[in-house]
Amino acid sequence: MKKILVTGAFGQIGSELVPALQKKFGKDQVVAMGHKTVTSNFDGILEKADTRDKDILASIIKKYDIVDVYHLVSLLSVGGEKDPKVTWDINVGGLKNILELGVEFGLKIFWPSSIAAFGSTTPRDNTPQETILEPTTMYGVTKVTGENLCRYFNIKYGLDVRSVRYPGIISWKTPPSAGTTEYTVAMLYDGVQGKGNTCWLGPDMMLPMMYVNDAIKATIDLMDTPVLKIKLRGSYNLAAVSFTAKQWEEAIRKHIPDLKVSYKPDERQKIADSWPKSIDDSQARADWGWKHEYSLEKMTKEMVENLRKEFSIS
């Protein structure tokens, strides 16, 4: 059996990807690596390290005879604007270390890009696979840089590195952060707990979104795809559903009639304004059979039900 390393294992994606990989390959085959945030009740192999430290990364790869790496470590859009230098060091420096070690140890690597790679000059409706990439945040700049690094390492060294551009990811298992698309999770948490919600985006702000279960499926499916089917070595567009903040509110209200939402756009609105409304992911669907499962209605219903159980609310 192959040993798998997941960096950023306790973030929004990692906290759900690790259990999925454990279920598929066994707990003793998955190494979860965290830096600051580590779940106290984690059941599995755990390593604490910083991806900016290449020597420690190399020692972990050798220690466990790692074959596949899911490199998820990243500072996101809002946090990235507060400290651009650290964002560059973590997002680009950490990825470069992983890619270089990938060449040295013959690894297969997954690294996620994002819709943040697009910018205000990108066509916003049905954004094509090949398009203008002029981001307006440091987070977005690091994603474009990362896509080019992945492509370079594949062309130069034959490194098997695979990537998707995640849309906004929605999960009920992790509390909302201050990220631009996290208004969805904040609204859901407040609604289930009977609190009023203040949305930091405007009601008509439409963005491409995806339930985390679909994101995990896409990630594992891409890594399982035979190498000859992978036609892109930058990053595949990935899509599921697009909706406005008001449509999200209305979807939640079907399950929580007393939901109260007020709209007070802040600095995150400007970030969202530079991102697409919808994504053309036809190449991912054609090359490796990507297909999403969750509609807006199915996603909302499942999230509300699970959060009510989590908070013991009937």
Active site residues: 139
Q: Which long-range contacts (CB under 8 A, 24 or more apart) does 194-198 make?
A: 194/258, 196/260, 196/261, 196/262, 197/259, 197/260, 197/261, 197/262, 198/261, 198/262, 198/263, 198/264
**Residue 127: DSSP 8-state:** B
DSSP letters for 166-235: E-EEE-SSS---S-GGGHHHHHHHHHHTT--EEESS-TT-EEEEEEHHHHHHHHHHHHHS-GGG---SS-
Residue 195 identity: K
H-run or E-run covering 261: strand 261-263
Give the whole-angstrom CA distance, residue 250 versus residue 147: 36
H-run or E-run covering 236: strand 236-237
SS3 assignment, position 243: strand
Bridge-based pairing state of the strands 45-48 and 3-7? unpaired
In total, the chain counts a number of residues equal to 314
Quick one: 17 exposed, middle or buried, by C-beta within 10 A (0-12, 13-18, 19+)? buried
Give the whole-angstrom CA distance, residue 186 versus residue 9: 22
**Encoded tokens for 3:** 């040993």
SS3 assignment, position 82: helix
